[in-house]
Amino acid sequence: DAGITQSPRYKITETGRQVTLMCHQTWSHSYMFWYRQDLGHGLRLIYYSAAADITDKGEVPDGYVVSRSKTENFPLTLESATRSQTSVYFCASSESTGGFGTEAFFGQGTRLTVV
Amino acid sequence: TQLLEQSPQFLSIQEGENLTVYCNSSSVFSSLQWYRQEPGEGPVLLVTVVTGGEVKKLKRLTFQFGDARKDSSLHITAAQPGDTGLYLCAGADAGKSTFGDGTTLTVKP
């Protein structure tokens, strides 16, 4: 199906474990983003990518790693999960950075709980 | 870090009422977007405003971008229960978008 999909939708993991959240888009958009959304907060940018093999830090990158070997995939890895990383994670893609108003398309989110 | 402040944080009104939510910043943005998010879903774009002073209408929703491109407002006329959701503004500049914390709107029938 066309669009942007995230997996898994729900994940429970233990403190200290490594966990990877997957994001796949079928539009061949250049830009992809990872955000986290916490209660009482909007979306905070973790990492973004302008193209394959190009990634950059966002507002809250500590504890996360990303890669972009293929245009359509942008996995987010928590190297050693902590309780503070319990959140809903959203992946998004767009044709540009949004500097001139290009729409960002969001996935349905992954709800991650670290116990 | 550029900050976007949205107000009010929560708003509960009766069907048929009008409302306005605000998005303010001390920074200038090249464009500003409004998104609506429903529970369990990702945000969906409602509108993008680019020019200072710009006004856009989307059915019962009216969006305005401040003259200085630092603030924006969303006005809903005759709100309906289907308008219930989280409204997020996002300012774009230098390649990244910064989101406000959102306004949670509840419209009671």
Cβ atoms of B11 and B34 closer than 8 Å? no
Residue-level length of chain B: 109
Domain ranges of chain A: 4-114
pLDDT given for residue B10 in this prediction: 95
Judging contacts by C-beta atoms under 8 Å, the chain A residues touching residue B56 are: none
End-to-end CA gap in chain B? 40
Mind listing the pLDDT tens digit for each residue in A38-47?
Answer: 986 789 999 9
Mind listing the pLDDT tens digit for each residue in A86-106?
Answer: 999 999 998 865 555 567 889
Mind listing the pLDDT tens digit for each residue in B10-37?
Answer: 999 999 999 999 999 988 888 889 999 9
Q: A4-114, which class in CATH?
A: mainly beta
Report CA dihedral (A75, A76, A78, A84) to the nearest 10 degrees: -150
In this structure, which amino acid lies at residue A111?
R
Instruction: Determine the topology of domain B5-108 in CATH.
Output: Immunoglobulin-like (2.60.40)
Mind listing the pLDDT tens digit for each residue in B51-95?
Answer: 899 999 999 999 999 999 889 999 999 999 999 999 999 987 766
DSSP string, A8-53: -SEEEE-TT--EEEEEEESS--SEEEEEEE-TT--EEEEEEEEETT
Domain ranges of chain B: 5-108
Q: Measuring CA to CA, which residue among B102, B66, B89, B74 is closest to residue B18?
A: B74
Q: How confident is the model at residue A2 (pLDDT cuts 50, 70, 90)?
A: low
pLDDT given for residue A95 in this prediction: 81
pLDDT given for residue B30 in this prediction: 82
Judging contacts by C-beta atoms under 8 Å, the chain A residues touching residue B93 are: 99
Please, what is the average pLDDT of chain A?
91
Contact A99 B30 (CB under 8 A): yes
Cα–Cα distance between B69 and B39 in angstroms, integer?
A: 30
**SS3 state at B59:** coil
